[in-house]
Chain A
Amino acid sequence: MSNAATTAPAPAAPPPVEKIRIKVDGRDVEVPKMLPNWQGKLEPTTMLQAIQIAGGEVPHYCYHPKLPVAGNCRMCLVEFGTPMIGPDRRPVLNEDGSPKIAKSVLPYEPSTPRGAIACATPISPGMELYPNSPATKQMREAVLESLLINHPLDCPICDQAGECKLQEYSVQHGQATSRFVEAKVHKPKAVDLGPRIVLDDERCVLCTRCIRFTKDIAGDDALGIVNRGSYNTIAAWKEGAFDNNYTLNTVDLCPVGALTSKDFRFKMRVWFLKETKSVCTSCGTGCNLTVGSREGAIHRYEPRENDAVNGPWMCDAGRLNYKWVGREDRLKDVLVRGTKSGWATALKEISAQLAAAPRGSVAVVASARQTTEELFLLKKLATKLGAVTDSVARPGEADKLLVCADCNPNTTGAILTGIVDCHAEMGRNLAKIADGIRSGSIRTLVVFGEDVTQHGLGADLLAKLDMLIVSDILPNATTAVATYLLPGCAHAEKRGTFVNVKGRVQKFMKAVEPKGEARAEWEILHELVHHVTGQNGFSTIEGLFNQMAQEVPAFSGLEWAKLGDSGVTVQI
């Protein structure tokens, strides 16, 4: 462990970037000659990248910066011109000395402009791009018209409504009327592609993003196209066979309402959803996500792009791991010896008893699913009480893409705050605690977020304690026998940070209100620490984090405000 926290790997002197001068809509722009492609490999800069650098936008369906380029939707066609070269192989100049530009035209019909697909066409020095010219606009209009002729136009009942690129581009680039008077092509509806995905082939624009993602990113050749021409249809190789742990990413990737999530479809119009930046708690990778919630209920998680962690993807298991937050049996009341009580009473009693507890008679089991700030406060408390601390390991199976073998979201936080000894295996102290309870040396046990009966501290042992202080979210065998039961919050109900397995400190925001009397654990811990140690703490998460950054060497130099939306990597 290093004492120095780094906000980012120290940037080495960047190699000089070769630039190209081009014009975008008449404005001079200098862009790098090479830029990263979907795999991060440097390739000649494309028209689309150049226009984006120039502050413009190129509408597209099939292009995605993290997928191989397909070039099939043709929505990004852009009119362009290149400097004219004379028979002497030298540039032809205008009277004012500027280079003469030859606009690209159809070779067989020189009066008609010819567009290039901006997603795949590299720029060259002196090139002129016209992303807003009448010809470019006409090409877009025509593509959009084509995409809509066989589309069912069922926006009112479409789950994608509100986040549909057909809708969006129709507003920006479409026409008010359609000339199409023939009968539409009909294709399969509500196709069961796999356990989590439903496909409406009539809405599909055949951009193949789903196919490319599934094959090239998820490594599963499950999807393809069957039939031909206008009858082309996306299909799984066998009905229902689209089943890997990343299928739901295709729902995000699908620019239209063709691929929908069985979990989310028809649950909520997306424009009612409040979006809150958060982090996935299902494993130590810490994929960034957006919580979609309305009036206190979470309706979906969607991945939030963070190239340092998850790119634009997340796994299906993590994405669907939100329902427990809204479970009916959530712990909602403060219970003292099984009887409903209040925070003031309970915290007062606990503080008094902990303050009076003989040194070494208390043990703390703190889950590596608690936030770093909570673990920091628990460690503070434990230090004051001379308490042995530990956490519970949650081993799982890693995959090649995002899922890591550590199913705790904050193992690193538990180690960095000292809840878990960095030289020992997580959970090794649990046996020591069991021995202590058995021998009577440990009289008080503080448990945050774990059912310790599952981890060697059975109900018989817990019965020997004078006092069992438990904070949790859902009921279990440990909460059932708690002397003091303190209802805690899901991550989506509070703010805080997790540190992922690679040392990325990532903050998450509060999406929904806690249930019943439940309170954020850091808040009650703040009070407990204050009462027991007599030290003043911070009553805001910002202050608490900044205090932690000053006291925990690994976090030195960090500030809550500087974490940003995508986090900061510290050395571990």
Chain B
Amino acid sequence: MAQTDEPHETAHDDLHPHAPMVEEITDFEVLEIAVRELAIEKGLFTADDHRRFTEFAEEIGPTAGARLVARAWLDPEFKRLALEDAIAASREVGVDWLEPTGFGTPSDFTALQVLEDTPKLHHVVVCTLCSCYPRPILGNSPEWYRTPNYRRRIVRWPRQVLGEFGLHVPEDVEIRVEDSNQKHRFMVLPVRPAGTDGWSEDDLAEIVTRDCMIGVALPKPGVTTNAVTAVRPAIRPAEHQ
């Protein structure tokens, strides 16, 4: 590679071996505009419907889920509620699963189950058929979760795949893979890690990353980032809207 003035360019290319192939207006961008215009012109939905749902989609993220986990660690009553009626427990951390339509998001449904890990049981979630994921409480799924590779392998070789995320589960711990294939959505309630005695709910929520709630990582004092951090950049990212 030729020398450049950009000091980060080499590292950048190593992280993102597949540089974007196209920078013109893509076929997807053209088709998306055509479909949206026609749907509005035919009265299927309004531009305001689209704007309202976009605002909802931009607001959701994993912090509510992390809050639920932290509170369950601190409050046995709340933990019981989370395990018995996760939809009700979600409301306590600010997530109303009936939003934004009055019957929930069309693709996520309104049935959540919290999977409780123990020192002898570790859960990990996948959807082998598409990408079913508890968006209202965890936000949109990470790219790797939707890949055929993760979906093919985690149900058959879970210990190997978890090892690729840096999570090595001891042999005396049962792995339970949850293949989220119908209307239930699932999130993992990990075991509260050692070294967190006396921590506040805010402190605890900091170490409950999205990857911990999918089950490909364990919470650890001092670790507040996901197991997977490499990001492939967009050509024209949604944030610029």
Q: Real complex partners, A and B?
A: no
Mark A residues whose CB is within 8 Å of B.
none
Mark B residues whose CB is within 8 Å of A.
none
